[in-house]
Structure 1
Amino acid sequence: MATSNLKQTLGDLNKESFISLLTKIIGESKFLQNNPPELIPEEDRVIKHVLDCLLPYSTTTGGPLIVNHVTYFPGRGNLIVEYPGTQPGKILSFVGMHMDVVTANPNDWDFDPFSLSIDGDKLRGRGTTDCLGHVALVTELMKRLAETKPKLELTVVAVFIANEENSAISGVGVDALVKDGLLDKLKGGPLFWIDTADKQPCIGTGGMIPWKLQVTGKLFHSGLPHKAINALELGMEALKEIQLRFYKDFPPHPDEQVYGFATPSTMKPTQWNYPGGGINQIPGECTISGDVRLTPFYK
């Protein structure tokens, strides 16, 4: 089917249906925060709403959609939805619509982050752009394909995933799907990763590498600092040297401006932990954690 004909067949986005679904999904976002061990998301809360929209059009009810709910950890599922085409092997896929979110402290927000609100033409709430809005949008696309039933040569696949925002726990989301070969057939055609935290297409992004630096010093009373090795100071000095070497090895790349990258490659701390103790104690250990964001122009 020609692109123009397909657009005409699918029509415009049903805004009322989209807003209704997004309202339900954002309403679950308090339980989708991903920061183990304190906060472990329950992605099946989202899948329930997606299935409510799509199961009436699935093959189990006489519809065209092939729906596969894949779970590796209780309450933390992934969802693969297919609209079959007419030509075997031809495929187009949308992957990366993740159902977990980063944490949000309501005290830091001017509105409730865990419910959808509308301010003019703005949709507000945790996950509207990263990535629950994408979940709702692609759900509406698959629903519309099932409703209109256009004859496409390409099979269209949507892969909704768990556990994108944190790598402390593995074997839950897309890594497990790849390991089990469930995404192998997607290699036969274009794959669009639908997870840009913005409102326009993104043709390139920086990869994320988490890191952790464990520092061991010597605990002692702060009145006798010469008998201690301050783990906090030791960690700061070590991290300073590591960062200096990183930015020497991975300086801003000229292609970053060509492709509109907002920042060059970065390495920075984002979390700092130590066992605790009195203010008059020099800590003997601490852990610094952070990430590396590396633009794709470096190997």
Structure 2
Amino acid sequence: MPIAAPLSSAIDLTTRLVAFDTTSHKSNRALIAFVESYLAGHGVTSHLVPTEDGEKASLFATVGPEGVAGIGLSGHTDVVPADPAAWTSDPFTVRQENGRLYGRGTADMKGFLACVLAMVPDFKRRKLKVPLHIVFSYDEEVGCTGVRPMIAELGDRLTKPRAVIVGEPTSMDVVDGHKGPVRWAVEITGRAAHSSMAHLGVNAISVAGRLIGELGAIEKELMALPPDTRYVPPYPTLQVTEITGGIASNIVPATCRFGFEVRAMPGLDVDGIEKRIVAFAEMECLPEMRRLAPEANIVIRQSNRVPPFAADTESEVVALALKLAGQNETRAVSYATEAGLFQGAKVPSVVCGPGDIAQAHTADEWIAISEIERCLAFLDRLADWAEG
């Protein structure tokens, strides 16, 4: 493959994609319209999976024989927020400097999307026997919510791939396992009272403290589990991530809300953790609260769950990715992707993409141009394989 032309195209496409502010709380439709138009210009038809309000959409397209199970190339179009004051330059205008492309989403993960799109003309020229599916989703950064409706249509309106390569930044290493974040929201209702008459109230913040203490005990138990040194840290993590409560310093607080998260490794009994904290609330906290305030309550609600990912030991796509990347060993990571969701839908998956996760979500986020070159070469070898 003559690298120069695809590389120039990939840099240009990265610049164009970054220019769309697709922060997760905003629409991604302008970016999707651009991708749809670009693909149509190369004779590729896109299928959209929009949200009910039409503000966002995922895109599925096939290069090669239609209706045939091929290899999916999966990536997300959304990015995390960028505070311009913390950046050296405009986060949504790519700056090329010292062999790097700076801009929000360059590493996570519009660089990968750009590589896939830059290779489309080459894919089209090939006589692919195994098609390559373009699988672009929304709202990965807020819990992989956008890819789920698209996965639900695989095998129905959309061709179900035989395997998926998720292009999350791995420095082009082949990743066959990752942790999965599970998040809960806790809402505690007590009873307000004048702080001088504290015995007449039920302090919701104090109850939150008891619950957080129990979570701390669970955290210590997780840290004491047999370590899996493929992960950093080598155990599941648990932390309280946010808390709010009270309205004034002289009022017993009637409400308190907090959130907590577990980053689960494959095989962890996450449901058991939830049952334990619910049981603690019901048996240790609520009876005492309700003796004074029958209306007192504790609601513990799971707000999002991204499954951990573990590829099958004999996975075809892991072996393929290792071959394409020229590597002999896989590794595991502690961040999450949509790979576990595809795996749960019986679509074997692997994670391999350009850029360093250490640059993701940071001010002055960047991707090395050399990483884009490596990704283009990987995709070129994938096309060779798909030609048979």
TM-score higher than 0.5: yes
Consecutive unaligned residues of structure 1, counting only runs of 5 or more, are 1-7, 35-39, 59-64
What CA distance in whole angstroms lies between the structure 2 residues aligned with 1:112 and 1:180?
38
Equivalent position of 1:216 in the other structure: 189
Q: Which residue number corresponds to residue 17 of structure 2? A: 25
1:112 aligns with 2:51: no
Alpha carbons of 1:260 and 1:294: their partners in 2 closer, same or farther (altered >3 Å)? Answer: closer
Aligned positions of 1:1-299 closer than 5 A: 8=1, 11=3, 14-29=6-21, 32-34=22-24, 40-58=25-43, 65-73=44-52, 74-85=54-65, 89-95=68-74, 97-146=75-124, 149-167=125-143, 173-181=146-154, 185-187=159-161, 189-196=162-169, 198-201=170-173, 202-249=175-222, 251-254=224-227, 256-257=228-229, 259-262=230-233, 264-274=235-245, 277-298=247-268
Distance 1:286 1:141, change over 3 A: farther
Change (3 A) 1:227 1:69: same
Q: Choose between structure 1 and 2: higher helix proportion.
A: 2
Does the C-alpha gap of structure 1 residues 233 and 129 become closer, same or farther in structure 2, counting only changes over 3 Å? Answer: farther
In the alignment, the residues of structure 1 paired with residue 231 and residue 247 of structure 2 have an alpha-carbon distance, to the nearest angstrom, of 46
TM-score by length of 1: 0.76
Q: Does structure 2 conserve the Cα–Cα contact (< 8 Å) formed by 1:216 and 1:231?
A: yes
Give the aligned partner of residue 62 of structure 1: none
The one-letter amino acid paired with 1:49 is: F
2:57 aligned partner, one-letter code: G
Once the two structures are TM-superposed, the CA of residue 185 in structure 1 deviates from its matched residue by 4.2
Please list every run of 5 or more consecutive structure 2 residues that lacks an aligned counterpart in the other structure. 270-388
Task: Spell out, residue by residue over 1:191-250, the C-alpha distance to the aligned partner (whole angstroms, 9 max, x if none).
Answer: 112223x43333321112121111222223344444433322321321221242244157
Deviation per residue, 1:42-74 (Å, 9 max, x gap): 11122122224222112xxxxxx2321221331
SS at match of 2:266: coil
Contact 2:64–2:127 (CA under 8 A) maintained in structure 1: no
Asked whether the 8 Å contact 1:54–1:143 carries over to 2, the reply is: no
**Superposed displacement of residue 281, structure 1:** 3.2
- Distance, in Å, in 2 between the alignment partners of 1:286 and 1:143 is 55
Displacement after TM superposition at 1:136 (Å): 1.7
Whole-angstrom CA distance in 1 between matches of 2:116 and 2:89: 26
RMSD: 2.9
CA distance in 2, matches of 1:223, 1:106: 46
Q: Does the CA contact (< 8 Å) of 2:188 and 2:208 recur in 1?
A: yes
- Residue 326 of structure 2 is matched in structure 1 by none
Range 121-130 or range 260-269, more displaced: 260-269
Q: Name the aligned partner's letter for residue 137 of structure 2.
A: I
* Distance in 2 of aligned mates of 1:49 and 1:210: 34
Q: Secondary structure at the match of 2:129?
A: coil
* Conserved? CA contact 2:6–2:119, under 8 Å: no
Distance 1:125 1:262 in 2: 29
With over 3 angstroms needed to count, the CA separation of the structure-2 counterparts of 1:53 and 1:285, relative to structure 1, is same
Identity of aligned residues (%): 21
Report how many residues are paired.
Answer: 266
Indicate the structure whose relative CO is greater, using CA pairs within 8 Å and at least 6 residues apart: 2
Distance change in 2, residues 1:267/1:45 (3 Å): farther
Q: Which residue of 2 aligns with 1:3?
A: none
